[in-house]
């Protein structure tokens, strides 16, 4: 059976390649989705300071060069603190390390009992006989261990302890920031 255009067989042979070519052409012309540039996530805000130091200084050397420490701080945490322990390092004016009197270690730990409510100031706290060196000129706080009323213990490095600007501007102890 022949049709007007000839046999059906050659028409199918011609039709299949034409349909494939049209499909390929249609795929090639589809607009490709553009990659979406992701904006970098904003840096999270730095955490608030756990403690704000209002004042800190060594006392004048007493007999035999024994030196006390003074610190006045504000509780910057949302919790009531039961204890605060400051990790401190003391230096002479020429930058020499002064070891703790009782332990002989490079750091002296200064502990004070609370309670200290959030935002509450400690007032001037004094620790006696911390160092023994009549040339001691300054100390810095390396970190602090905070124990809240629920018994939760956290240690914060110096970057989470803020010095008030007037204290930081004194620059008495290099690295005290």
Q: Which residues pair with 126 in a beta bridge?
A: 70
The size of the chain, in residues, is 177
Predicted confidence band at 3 (pLDDT cuts at 50, 70, 90)?
low
* d(C-alpha 108, C-alpha 101), whole Å: 8
Q: Read off the pLDDT band of 23 (50, 70, 90).
A: low
Which is it for the CA torsion 48, 51, 55, 59, positive or negative?
negative
Residue 86's pLDDT is: 97
The pLDDT tens digits of the residues spanning 24-37 come to 666 655 566 677 77
The three-state secondary structure class of 3 is strand
Tell me the CATH class for 51-168.
Answer: mainly beta
DSSP character at residue 110:
E
What is the reported pTM? Answer: 0.71
Kindly state the helix (H) or strand (E) to which residue 17 belongs, with its residue range: helix 8-29
Rounded CA separation 56/72 (Å): 6
| DSSP state for residue 167 in the 8-state scheme | H
pLDDT of residue 117: 96
CA distance 148 to 78: 10
Using pLDDT thresholds of 50, 70 and 90, give the confidence band for residue 16: confident
Do the bridges between strand 136-148 and strand 161-163 make them parallel or antiparallel, or are there none, so unpaired? unpaired
Distance, CA of 112 to CA of 120 (rounded, Å): 14
Helices then strands, counting H and E runs in the chain, come out as: 2, 9
Residue carrying structure tokens 């230096």: 91
Domain ranges of the chain: 51-168
Q: What is the pLDDT of residues 79-125, one digit of tens each?
A: 999 999 999 999 998 889 999 999 999 999 999 998 999 999 999 99
């Amino acid at each position: 059976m022949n049709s007007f255009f000839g046999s059906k067989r050659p028409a199918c042979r011609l039709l299949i390649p034409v349909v494939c070519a049209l499909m390929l052409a249609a795929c090639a012309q589809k607009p490709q989705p553009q990659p979406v540039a992701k904006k970098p996530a904003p840096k999270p805000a730095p955490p608030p300071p756990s403690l704000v130091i209002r004042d800190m200084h060594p006392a004048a050397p007493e007999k035999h060069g024994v030196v006390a420490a003074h610190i006045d701080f504000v509780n910057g945490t949302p919790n009531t603190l039961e204890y605060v322990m400051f990790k401190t390092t003391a230096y002479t004016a020429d930058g020499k390390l002064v070891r703790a009197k009782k332990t002989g270690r490079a750091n002296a730990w200064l502990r004070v009992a609370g309670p200290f409510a959030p935002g509450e100031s400690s007032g001037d706290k004094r620790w006696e006989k911390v160092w023994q060196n009549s040339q001691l000129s300054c100390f810095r706080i390396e970190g602090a261990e905070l124990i809240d009323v629920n018994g939760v213990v956290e240690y914060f490095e110096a970057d989470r302890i803020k010095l008030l600007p007037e204290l930081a501007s004194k620059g008495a102890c290099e690295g005290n920031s």
